[in-house]
Chains A and B, each alone.
Chain A
Amino acid sequence: MPALAGRVAVVTGADQPLGRGLALALGTAGAAVGLVGAARALAAVTAELDARGARATAVDTALSDAAGVTTAFATVADELGAPVCVVVHTAMEPAAFDPMPFEEVDDDRFDAIWEGTMHAALAVLQASFAQMRGRGGQILLVTPTVGMSGVPGLAPYAAALEGQRLLAKSAARQWGPDGIRVNCLAPAPEQVPIGVRSVDVSLAPAALGGPGDAEHDLGPVAVFLAGDDAHFVTGATIGVDGGVWMAP
């Protein structure tokens, strides 16, 4: 039986290649997948999941609307027939991806990237908790390695990534007794449109070559973390960048 058969998963940011690849991996592993975000942009991914025999739905929601996110998760649960027990959060404020010297960052831009990202992550975590409380579940935040490595021109993005990564650790510590695991998946910088290569943040090349394919290289790790075999793993950051950023 597929690893995630019978599970209902939510994926955010599936309109981007990274989220799309992970959604396809979860669906192929047997999960029914709810794509939460701008529904129009998600129709193609829903169709791809359908074509593979995976149940899928898209729910139109702005992640900036916390109450709306909780409602969207409930809608996914209703449409797919069971509470959401797997959440993969990949969505990121698009402004975060544009490099800019720090001195040129103004309040509006910092607000959009830092506050926008953190409010969305908090909304996704709280919506997840509403679904998983008393039942358990697995939450995965996708945080590219550039948050840990630092990168010039993208300080607000890096701050938002590390903010999310530590939000995951705190959630893991607090919600462990509820059977809720929270982990981070750290892909190579090439997996997001920031114009940064792995070799820009490390002297060494990717040990396994890189930067990898979202569905076929990152997807199996996401499926593992979402599945029962990872039942003792929480608060962890798993680097899946082909062996560039090796920390600690």
Chain B
Amino acid sequence: MTAPLAGRTAVVTGAGQGVGEGIAAALATRGANVVVAARRAETGEPAAAAIRDRGGEACCLVTDVTRGGDVQRCVTETVARYGALEIMVHNAFHGGRPHRLEDVDDALWATNSRTAVWGSYYCARFAAPHLRAAGTRGRLLLVTSPAGVEGSVNLPIYSPVKAAQRALAKSLAREWGRHGVTVNCVAPVAETPALTTAFAANPVLRERLEARTALGRVGDAERDIGAVAAFLAGDDGGYITGQTVVCDGGSFMGL
């Protein structure tokens, strides 16, 4: 059986750790050439090496998604190395500590907005010609959050930037559908360094999260989230566009 993503090339931002690393590994396992786009080589290089150790094809390109020039260079180098770019996954995010909305200042806003929204904009813009060239194999996948649907009491700025990604996905799905390109979001809850930090700061959080999750556990970045991303990235997910797939074990059930 041919691997479902064999011969396709993916860029995954924020792939040095957490959900991004899981998605990168899942895509590589299914045959894709994967560019681990990480802000820091210290995380990106080991993530790429781990994929190669498992027999996959991967390389790390140091990329700060808040810089358009970085994203443009990452896309250019990806195409130079692998010949095409079919799958663009924007996962990188840097937010901040819990905050009060009345205290939000420009710096906190910018931290959230630059990685989530500007990162999406740059990834979409610079990948666009290559996705269009890929036609029905072209995929843009944005990693959002259930908080971008239901709001957040502790991270009020996190919700709007994650919602904006969902809105970009819907509008771009309508705009690029004529080329066969799909644009979707996944909204995961998974074991990540960020969640570990949140659990450490709030000892009852894990218990609360698991109690309100139908499947009773926090997801695994590669097996639970990466697999869904890979499905959307492949031919089997080709008729799904403009959607947000919530992969949270059955916590938020919005529709």
Contact = CB atoms under 8 A, between A and B. Distances in A.
A166 B148 contact: yes
B117 A114 contact: yes
29 contacts: A103-B128, A105-B121, A107-B68, A114-B164, A119-B109, A148-B170, A149-B170, A150-B169, A150-B173, A151-B174, A154-B171, A155-B167, A162-B163, A162-B164, A163-B117, A165-B160, A165-B163, A166-B148, A166-B151, A166-B160, A166-B162, A167-B160, A169-B159, A170-B157, A170-B160, A172-B151, A174-B100, A174-B156, A175-B101
- For B68, B100, B157, B170, the residue with the greatest tally of chain A CB atoms inside 10 Å of its CB is B170
B60 to A, nearest CB: 26
Contact of A166 (B100, B163, B171, B172): B163
Given A155-B172, A159-B167, 9 more contacts: A102-B125, A105-B121, A115-B113, A162-B167, A163-B163, A166-B159, A167-B159, A169-B150, A169-B159
Nearest to B151: A169
Contact of B171 (A126, A152, A164, A170): A152
A150 B156 contact: no
Contact of B167 (A110, A163, A172, A175): A163
Interface string A57-72: 0000000000000000
Q: Which 9 A-B pairs have the closest CB atoms?
A: A150-B170, A169-B151, A170-B156, A162-B167, A166-B163, A155-B171, A173-B153, A159-B164, A163-B160
B213 interface: no
B240 interface: no
Contact of A152 (B165, B174, B254): B174
Contacts of B255: 247-248
Contact of A122 (B109, B153, B242): B109
Nearest to A160: B164
Interface in B142-198: 148-153, 155-176
A159 B158 CA distance: 14
B168 A159 contact: yes
B153 A150 contact: no
Interface of B: 68, 100-102, 104, 109, 113, 117-118, 121, 124-125, 128-129, 148-153, 155-176, 242, 254-255
Nearest to A101: B175
B125 A105 contact: yes
A151 B171 contact: yes
A170 B164 contact: no
Interface residues of A, number: 46
A118 interface: yes
Contact of A162 (B100, B150, B166, B173): B166
A48 to B, nearest CB: 33
Contacts of A162: 160, 163-164, 166-167
A233 B255 CA distance: 19
Contact of B153 (A110, A133, A153, A170): A170
A102 B171 CA distance: 9
A150 B174 CA distance: 7
A118 B160 contact: yes
A166 B117 CA distance: 14
Contacts of A175: 101
Nearest to B162: A166
B168 A158 contact: yes
Nearest to B121: A110
Interface in A156-189: 158-175
Given A166-B159, A167-B160, A125 B175 contact: no
A115 B100 CA distance: 20
A169 B169 CA distance: 20
A155 B168 CA distance: 5
B152 A158 contact: no
A147 interface: yes
Contacts of B169: 150
A104 B90 CA distance: 20
A235 interface: yes
A155 B152 contact: no
A73 interface: no
A245 interface: no
B159 A161 contact: no
Given A159-B117, A167-B159, A173 B170 contact: no
B75 to A, nearest CB: 13
A72 B253 CA distance: 41
A247 B254 CA distance: 10
A118 B113 contact: yes
Contacts of A169: 150-151, 159
